[in-house]
Amino acid sequence: MQWISYIPKSYLSWFVGTMANLPLPKPFANLLVGWFARAYKIDCSLATRPMESFSSIGSFFTRELRPEVRPIADCDITSPVDGTLRSAQNISTAGDVSLVKGRNYAISRLLGDDPLAARFAQGQVWNFYLSPQDAHHIFSPVQGSVIRSVHVPGKLWPVNDWAIAAVDGLFVVNERVVSFIESPVGLVAVVMVGATNVGRIALSYTDLETNRAPWRRHPQRAIEHAPPISVARGEKVGTFKMGSTVVVVFEHRHFDVSSVGESIKVRYGQDLATLCRGS
């Protein structure tokens, strides 16, 4: 693990993202995208476009899925991604949560010490991982209005299991983009966590996009949306230009998370209640 600390991960991620999005001659693009789809057992029939239409691995990563294959459940809260649910936990009265077993995080640190973080004490946190197999868009889990967006600069450590175990405070040291959504079920924070080889994080409802020029250092940036930006449940709010992790923080405890399993495959638009055992 020590060797990776010496790699300039922001530059590496920018370079990999740039290379992944370079348009290739059609025969080479078809060969590369086809190999990638087979290697990760990706069902290309779910995409809105045929596999032969993608000009790069990057464009295939950000493929759109046909709406009919991801119906949006008629409920209050849905999954924000295609991916794997790693964990679902309650936030303590002190505002802490253990995103990694045995290591507590202050939810305020995860959210960039934003003033809105105080509202999440005694709420819930759901942690989702996106693998190379998954489509890399993020969707609003609730109907509501985006009132604030925050870009928290940071490291770009990997977010796979061995990195989570090895890097202390991984989720609060990596780069993050937070969307605060006011909704009928309370305030919701959708946290897109950067990682090694995630070329960029882009928001759909504003022009914020990370890692455009890693040689330029930027302070933490908050954008107030006045008027707020309306989003529907299941509407796209962001995209990873490669894969990473999404953490969703709820102001209230909507589910009995003691009944939620770990490492569960999920689809965006799925009712989160179905992930609770016995639901």
* Range list of H helices, the chain: 9-20, 26-39, 57-61, 107-110, 161-166, 170-173
Q: pLDDT tens string for the chain (279 positions)?
A: 444 454 544 545 555 556 567 787 888 889 989 998 999 899 999 999 998 999 988 888 889 999 999 999 999 999 999 999 988 999 988 788 876 655 678 899 899 988 999 999 889 999 999 988 898 899 999 999 999 999 998 776 666 665 666 566 677 778 899 999 999 999 999 999 987 656 578 999 998 887 655 546 677 889 999 999 999 999 999 998 766 889 999 999 999 888 887 789 999 999 999 888 644
Beta strands 103-106; 144-152: pairing state = unpaired
Report the pLDDT value the prediction gives residue 82, as an integer from 0 to 100: 95
Report the pLDDT value the prediction gives residue 98, as an integer from 0 to 100: 73
What strands, in cross-sheet order, belong to the sheet with 264-266? 221-231, 144-152, 176-183, 186-193, 245-250, 124-129, 83-90, 264-266
Report the pLDDT value the prediction gives residue 216, as an integer from 0 to 100: 61
pTM score of the predicted model: 0.88
Rounded CA separation 193/68 (Å): 28
Distances (CA, A) of 114 to 42, 148, 167: 38, 10, 23
Report the pLDDT value the prediction gives residue 3, as an integer from 0 to 100: 44
Rounded CA separation 267/81 (Å): 6
Rounded CA separation 256/122 (Å): 13
Report the pLDDT value the prediction gives residue 195, as an integer from 0 to 100: 72
